[in-house]
């Protein structure tokens, strides 16, 4: 009669957990969960089940996604406000040099031009930032693409509140 090992490692312990460092790197590079599952050789649904079952994997995924989100927010803010940057241009020019014996020797003159430029503020990036990250205390957006629609929604909400108050009679 065959005896089963007690406490034998499961597939998660054998396949996923030993590769946490790789998973973290994949996440930092923007890999999707489907891509990570494929890299690990497990089905996406299995990976999702592991994520639900094992808090250490869920926390790893959360941690791995934090840095790219912070970088994206910073880049969008930079675009929204405008920024200075340097543009470098390497210029190669063919020249002729007088040699020691009076002969002409071909040569190259290489110089680098550095120009400081300014990228104008991008209103679309600013609007996206405001819509997604500038919230009221209740979590609702402070900003809307269409200010008139916001006013209409506020009036609609006020009318609904009045209707509810009248119904409670």
Give the DSSP letter string of 130-165. HHHH-B-TTS-BS--S-HHHHHHHHHHHHHHHHHHH
pLDDT digits (tens, 9 = 90+) for 94-127: 988 887 887 888 889 999 999 999 999 998 888 8
- Give the domain ranges of the chain: 8-80
Average pLDDT over residues 72-77: 89
pLDDT at 2 over 50: no
Q: What b/e sequence results for 141-159 when a residue is b if at least 16 CB atoms lie within 10 Å of its CB, and e otherwise?
A: eebeeeeeeeeeeeeeeee
pLDDT bin (cut points 50, 70, 90) of residue 17 is very high
**How far is the C-alpha of 20 from the C-alpha of 61, rounded, in Å?**
10
Average pLDDT over residues 21-32: 90
pLDDT digits (tens, 9 = 90+) for 134-148: 777 777 766 666 666
Question: Is the entire prediction scored with pTM above 0.85?
Answer: no
């Amino acid at each position: 009669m065959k005896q089963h090992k007690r406490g034998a490692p499961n597939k998660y312990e054998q396949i996923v957990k030993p590769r946490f460092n790789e998973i973290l790197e994949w996440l930092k590079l923007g890999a999707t969960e489907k891509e990570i599952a494929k890299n690990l050789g497990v089905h996406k649904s299995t990976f999702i089940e592991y994520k639900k079952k094992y808090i250490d994997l869920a926390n790893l995924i959360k941690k791995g996604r934090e840095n790219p989100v912070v970088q994206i927010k910073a880049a969008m803010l930079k675009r929204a406000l405008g920024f200075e940057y340097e543009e470098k241009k390497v210029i190669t020019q063919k020249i002729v040099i007088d040699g020691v014996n009076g002969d002409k020797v071909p040569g190259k003159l290489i110089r680098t031009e550095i120009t400081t430029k300014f990228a104008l503020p991008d209103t679309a990036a600013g609007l996206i930032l405001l819509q997604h990250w500038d919230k009221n205390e209740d979590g609702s957006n402070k900003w809307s693409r269409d200010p008139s629609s916001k006013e209409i929604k506020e009036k609609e909400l006020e009318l609904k509140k009045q209707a509810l108050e009248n119904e409670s009679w």
